[in-house]
Chains A and B, each alone.
Chain A
Amino acid sequence: MPLIEPGSAAKDYDVIVIGSGAAGGQTAYTLTMEGARVLMLEAGRNYDPRTESPMFQTPDTAPLRGAGTDEKYFGYFDATVGGGWSVPGEPYTNASTEKNRRFKWWRSRMLGGRTNHWGRIALRNGPYDFKPRSRDGLGFDWPISYDDVAPYYDKVEMLIGVYGTNEGLENTPNSPDGVLLPPPRARIGELLARQRGRTVGVPVIAAHRAVLSRPLDSERLPAKLHPGNPKAQRILAEDMRNRAACFWATDCGRGCAIRANYQSTTVHLPAALATGNLDIITQAMVREVTVDAAGKATGVTFIDKLTGAERHAAARVVVLGAGACESVRILLNSRSGLFPNGLANSSGLVGKYIMDTVGAGWGGQIPLLESLPAHNEDGAGGGHVYAPWWLYKEQRAGKLGFARGYHVEFGTGKTMPQGLIKFGPNADGNTSYGKRLREEARRYYGSFVSFTGRGEMIPNEDSYCEIDPKTVDKWGIPVLRFNWKWSEHEYRQVAHMQRTFADWLAAMGCTSTKMPDPDGRKAIEPGGSIIHEVGGAIMGAKASSSVTNSWSQTWDVPNLFVADGAVFASNADKNPTLTIMALAWRTADRILDQMRKGNL
C-alpha cells in the first residue's frame, strides 16, 4: 500500500479505475470511503504536489526565464508532467490539414492528471444545460436533469472547497447556504471591468474557483458528506485539517504544495489512500478492457511502461476515467469476437460527438490603470471575478444569430513577469531603450486587461475521433485520429465575443487601435485548445442513440462505467471539471448501491 508494483495487484478488487484525475480521483474517493476495494491505474508517474510544486521560484531560476516552449507550452513552472500538446512516444493524428478542422489534444502523464494544472474554475451547469435540445432543437438532451446532479454538486463543492457567491442569475445556480467559501476581494482591474461592464450590459460577479479562501470546516462537513460512516468522517476530518487555506501567492497552475486548491492529488487521493482500500499502479498504460464469454468486463490489460511487460488486472467492475478521448481510445481498442467494433459500441457512437469549449480572447491597454501605486495583486492565483452568460432573453428572441452562450474570464493586474515580454513599439512607433524603457515599463506594467470568452459548442456529426488504421504508439497501441468541424453557431459566437470585448475595453478607456478579427473563422481557437474535451461516449435515454445510460453505465456491458467527460451529451459554457466530479460521485454511488444489491 498504496503505490504498488505492477505485478503485485491483488485478486479481489471490487473496482478498477482507469485514470487518476477529476473522474478517476472522485470515483476512487467515493468508492474507497464507502468500503470498496479499488485498483487505480495511471499512465504517468507518481507525483506529489507537496514536494514538487515550484511555489515561490522566480523566473530567473528557470530555463529561458520560465518562457513557454515546445516542451512546456504554458511555461516552465506549469505543473504538467510528461505531456503537453504531444506526449513523447504517444502520438495522435488528424484527418484534415485545414486549421479549423483539426483537433489539439492536451495530455499529461502524472498522478492526478490534468487536475494538477487546471484553472480551478468550478462552475455548475444550470437547468438549461441538461436540456439544450428541448430549448432550441439542437444537439442532445441529457437523460438527467439539474435536480439529479445538484446534490452531487453540493457534495463536491463541500469536499474540494469552492469560493464564490450566490447571485440567483438565470441558469447560473446558487449553492445551498454554507457550501461556498467567501470569494477574495476583486483586484483593481477587475473592479474597473465590473463597473464598465454595466455600460455594455455584462454582469460581473465573483468567480467560482476551487481554492480554499479559508480552511474547510472539518467539524461540520465530514458528517454531511459521509452520514453514518464514522471511519470516512474521521479520515476526511483529519485530511481537511491538513489542507491549509490559500496564502495568496503563486499561480495555481504550478500546483499547490499546501493543498489549498483542488487537484486530485491534494484532495481525492490522500483521503482515498488513508482508507487502506486503494492500490495505485503508476506507469500503467491501459490497452484494453477484457471481457468474458458472456460479454461481462473481467478487468483490463495494461503495459507496465517501466519494463514494457503486458499485465492483466481483474475486478468485478471497470470504470473508465482516462479523459474523454483516452477513454474512447480504450473502448475502440477493446475489440473481440463479441465486440468487433470496440466495446460498448453497439450504437456505433463511441468516439462521436466530441466537443471542446469555444474560445477566443482579446485584451488591451487601459490608461486609467497606468502608474498605479505598487500593491500585491497575486490573490488566489487566478481570477477573482467572471461574467456568466447574460443574453438568454435576446437568444430566446432569436436576436443573436447563434444558439448558445459564453462566459467571460479576465486577466488583469501586476502578475509576476515571466518569459518573453514583447514590449512593442512606443508611442512614436520606435523601439524604446535606456532610461525611457525603464520609465515606460513602470508606467504600463499592470495596465493591461484581457478577456477570454468560453462558450458552448454544439455536438455535430463531423467532430469525432476514431482509431487510426496506420499508426501505433511506442507500446504498439493503435492511436486516435481526430476529425473536427465547427458550425456557424460557434463562429458567430466568437464574432460576438470579439465585438463585446472591443466595446468593453473601449468602455474601460482603452485607446488601442488594434481591433480583434471580426471574422469568427479567424478568431476562434483551434478545437481542443481550451482543454475541455468531452463527449465520445455520450449518455442518453436509449441504447440505440447513446453509449451509456443515465448512470454512466454502458448499455452493452453492465459492469463497465464511464466516469469522465466522455458521457457529456452537451458541453455548456461552464468549465466541465466540477460536473465531471459531480457525475463521477453519482456514478460511484450507483456502483456501490448495485454491488450491495448483488447486481454487479
Chain B
Amino acid sequence: MNSPIPPKIDRRLAIKWMLAVSAGAVMARSPVLGAPGLSGAPGVPEPEPAHGYGTDPNMVTPSKPGEYWPLTFTEAQRRQAAVLSDLVIPPEGANPSASAVGVVDFLDEWVSAPYQQNLSDRKVVLDGMAWLDEESVRRFGRSFAESSEAERASLAEEMSRSPKAEPEPDTSQAFFRLFRDLVGSGYFTTPVGMKDLGYVGNVPLATFDGPPTELVAKLGLVDEVKW
C-alpha cells in the first residue's frame, strides 16, 4: 500500500517557510522535535539548565525584556540592530516596522539569554553585526547605521543570497538568515504582526463553526465535513 519514498523533486521547490509555526503547534501537544538530554556519560546526571526565568515563572503577569537577565547590546549595537531590523521588515501601509514593535528589545533579550541555543545564537549575531560595521567602514567609510540607504541595501542584498550559491560558505549570509528569522519571529508574534499574517484567533467564541462554507466548497471538501 505504501509506495517507496517518492523520487526527489527539484530542490528549488523546497519551501520550508514557517515550518516552525506548524511544528510549534504540534510541539505544544507532543514532543516531536529533537530534545536535549542525550549526551551525558553513563551514570552521570545531565547538567541542569542554566538559570534564566526558572521552572516556575509567573506566566500571567506580562514580562519585559531585561526582567530575568540583563540586556547586553551597546547603544551602537542597538542603533545598528534597529536599522537592520527595519530593512528586514520595513513599514507597509498601516503596518509599522520591526523596530516600532519592540523587535530590538527582543533581539537584545534573545542574544543575552543564558540558554544553550541563545549562547550559540549570540556568537553568530554579535560576530555578524561586528563584521557588518567593519565591512561598511571598509566599503563606504562609515558604520552600517550611518551609511546611506543605497549602501545598506547593497549589503543586505549580498547577505541575503543563499550560502549554497557561493563557493565558500559565507558567515555573513548565515548571520543574515538567523537575524532575519529573529526579526521575523519578533515581529509576527506581536498582535500587529499576527494581524498582518491573518491570525484571527485568541478570542473567546460561543461556537466553533469550522472553516467558511465557501472555502470548503472551493477546495472540494464538502463531503468531508459530515462525521
Contacts and interface: CB of A to CB of B under 8 A. Distances in A.
20 contacts: A52-B60, A62-B63, A63-B63, A63-B109, A72-B53, A75-B27, A99-B38, A185-B210, A206-B227, A254-B59, A365-B15, A391-B1, A417-B199, A423-B16, A431-B159, A438-B92, A444-B18, A471-B43, A514-B16, A526-B38
A419 B211 contact: no
Contacts of A422: 16, 19-20, 181
A377 interface: yes
Nearest to B209: A185
Interface stretch (A152-160, A406-414, A561-569, A591-599): A406-414
Q: On chain A, which size bracket covers the interface?
A: 35 or more
B40 interface: yes
> For B30, B37, B110, which residue has the most chain A Cβ atoms within 10 angstroms?
B30
A452 B90 CA distance: 37
A63 B181 contact: no
B162 interface: yes
Contacts, number: 439
A363 B23 contact: yes
Contact of A62 (B39, B59, B118): B59
A133 interface: no
Interface in B92-145: 92, 95, 101-102, 106, 109-110, 113, 115-118
Given A86-B37, A185-B225, A192-B219, A60 B190 contact: yes
B74 interface: no
Contact of A414 (B33, B42, B198): B198
Interface stretch (A140-148, A284-292, A366-374, A533-541): A366-374
Q: Which of B87, B209, B210, B220 has the most CB of A within 10 A?
A: B210
Contacts of B14: 425, 512-514
A183 interface: yes
B56 A185 contact: no
A54 B59 contact: yes
B150 interface: no
Contacts of A165: 227
A437 B89 contact: yes
Interface stretch (A76-84, A124-132, A457-465): A76-84
A92 B210 contact: no
Given A363-B22, A423-B180, A503-B2, A431 B160 contact: yes
B20 A419 contact: yes
A63 B215 contact: no
A73 B17 contact: no
A450 B37 contact: no
Interface string B161-195: 11011000000010011001110111011110110
A520 interface: no
B202 A58 contact: yes
Contact of B219 (A78, A368, A391, A435): A368
B190 to A, nearest CB: 5
A88 B52 CA distance: 13
Contact of B89 (A56, A205, A438): A438
B200 A374 contact: yes
A512 B33 CA distance: 19
A430 to B, nearest CB: 5
Contacts of A417: 21, 24, 185, 188-189, 193-194, 197, 199
Contacts of B216: 188, 191
Nearest to B25: A415
A99 B36 CA distance: 11
B23 A75 contact: no
A502 B5 contact: yes
A133 B13 CA distance: 47
A379 interface: yes
Interface string B54-88: 11110110110101100000000000000000011
Given A84-B55, A376-B200, A434-B87, 12 more contacts: A60-B101, A73-B36, A81-B55, A85-B37, A188-B219, A194-B224, A365-B17, A375-B212, A431-B161, A445-B197, A448-B19, A499-B3
Contact of B21 (A96, A183, A421, A430): A421
